[in-house]
Amino acid sequence: MKRVVVTGMGMINALGHDKESSFKAICEGECGIDMITIFDASAQSAQIAGEVKNFDPESVMDPKEVKKADRFIQLGIKAAQEAMADANFPEGFDKERFGIDAASGIGGLPSIEKNSIILETKGPRRISPFFIPGALVNMLGGFITIDHGLQGPNLSAVTACAAGTHGISEAAKTIMVGGADQMLVVAAESAITGVGIGGFASMKALSTRNDDPKHASRPFDAERDGFVMGEGAAALVLEEYDAAVARGARIYAELIGFGESGDANHITTPSLEGPLRAMKAALKMAGNPKVDYVNAHGTSTPTNDKNETAALKIAFGGKENCPPVSSTKGQTGHCLGAAGGIEAVVSIMAMRDGIIPPTINYVNPDENCDLDIVPNVARKAELNIVMSNSFGFGGTNGVVIFKKI
């Protein structure tokens, strides 16, 4: 199988509009969660989220095109532009051998909500002709391939909160079997809408700590009461190793393992065994290496954090053998389908800079979450191999492992 490396990255989330500023803020323990401003959330039981503030879509798209693309696409375009510039391809690269895997858990929920209201209040003739092409998940890839002229495989991953991670593994498979020399993975989500917040809140999945938004997302803490929704996007350029070396590319990391599994258990409640199988598969593919850091799925929900802790202990052969683990969702919120992409970028940057981002808002220890979770303050460390976990509704799981080169 061909080797796959990462040669470009981009990221936008509630803490910054680029990978460097947002990673710095994550490591400093800043929190991008605040009261919702995108819509009037006063009637909602959950009124907080990790919004991307002050983002102007016209900074990345022609003003005439903005209305044709849902916000998740606009955020994805921003991350993709940063990643492609970061990869620094020469003029005339073979665009027929360059593909994309676009990932989102929900896609154009704001457009769906808006046009549903229009249907009910103004009738079907007033629905926007841009509604369908601007809301489909695969249109994230469609817009971006047009932007960069990419003519290779055009794929999409739509697997809830595991979508970004699955986008990475599916793109890697395409390169490994010779279907492309490069793949751009873009994971994006923007579901902070009335129906999005209301839907998750009705499931009792969201934190309702509205009076204290900065401390609402508290992975592994005993007083966690649900996740806080975030939005954002990340992009990674995956490249066949020999092609990257031949063009003198800067290589951030090599993808040495990935694992995928299904719980076959419950449509929303995560199991222990499903995530464990994905971790074991990724570790086996990577050759069962010594992992130096795990970026946990760590949602701040009672069940996930407990189950993930137990699964990590089994995967690594006991608590004493587990590497340091942290969840960065306290800083960014849970970005759903974009989370895996964002957290893969965070994991690679942690390895690059030799620093483990903290799990913030950890105040009250939970005896069921008793790993070294790097509480509250970042930690300097030599990191050569890192793992990132993502688990989604429907019992869909993804794990990726990267190695420094």
Active-site choice (17, 27, 322, 334): 334
Q: Which of 206, 194, 200 is nearest to 110 (CA)?
A: 194
The reply to whether 99 falls in a domain is yes
Half-sphere exposure of 99 (CA within 13 A, CB side): 22
pLDDT in tens, 291-332: 999 999 999 999 999 999 999 999 999 999 999 999 999 999
Q: Is 148 a catalytic residue?
A: no
The reply to whether 72 falls in a domain is yes
Active-site choice (27, 161, 335, 369): 161
The reply to whether 355 falls in a domain is yes
Cβ atoms of 53 and 34 within 8 Å: the answer is no
Instruction: Give the pLDDT of the chain (405 residues) as one tens digit per residue.
Output: 899 999 999 999 999 999 999 999 999 999 999 999 999 999 999 999 999 999 999 999 999 999 999 999 999 999 999 999 999 999 999 999 999 999 999 999 999 999 999 999 999 999 999 999 999 999 999 999 999 999 999 999 999 999 999 999 999 999 999 999 999 999 999 999 999 999 999 999 999 999 999 999 999 999 999 999 999 999 999 999 999 999 999 999 999 999 999 999 999 988 999 999 999 999 999 999 999 999 999 999 999 999 999 999 999 999 999 999 999 999 999 999 999 999 999 999 999 999 999 999 999 999 999 999 999 999 999 999 999 999 999 999 999 999 999
The DSSP H or E segment spanning 301 is none
Q: Are residues 325 and 385 in the same domain?
A: yes
Q: Are residues 41 and 182 in the same domain?
A: yes
Active-site choice (166, 297, 322, 335): 297
Residue for token pair 């391939």: 145
Length reported for the chain: 405
Q: Which of 304, 104, 329 is nearest to 205 (CA)?
A: 304
- Among 223, 246, 269, identify where a domain stops: 246
The reply to whether 283 falls in a domain is yes
Strands 396-403 and 385-392: antiparallel
Q: Are residues 349 and 308 in the same domain?
A: yes
Strand partners, 326: 295
Q: Which domain holds residue 291?
A: 258-403
Q: Are residues 174 and 197 in the same domain?
A: yes
The reply to whether 298 falls in a domain is yes
Q: Are residues 206 and 111 in the same domain?
A: yes
Coil vs helix vs strand at 60: coil
- Among 215, 246, 277, identify where a domain stops: 246
Rounded distance, CA 268 to CA 271, Å?
A: 9
Cβ atoms of 298 and 304 within 8 Å: the answer is yes
Q: Are residues 19 and 143 in the same domain?
A: yes
Q: Is 215 a catalytic residue?
A: no
Q: Are residues 275 and 239 in the same domain?
A: no
Q: Are residues 143 and 185 in the same domain?
A: yes
Query: In total, how many domains does the chain have?
Result: 2
Q: Are residues 280 and 241 in the same domain?
A: no
Q: Are residues 325 and 375 in the same domain?
A: yes
The DSSP H or E segment spanning 275 is helix 273-285
Q: Are residues 133 and 262 in the same domain?
A: no
What CATH number does the domain containing 354 carry?
3.40.47.10
Q: Are residues 264 and 236 in the same domain?
A: no
Query: What are the tokens at 72?
Result: 């998740």
The reply to whether 253 falls in a domain is no
The reply to whether 252 falls in a domain is no
The reply to whether 311 falls in a domain is yes
Rounded distance, CA 362 to CA 365, Å?
A: 7
- Among 222, 246, 270, identify where a domain stops: 246
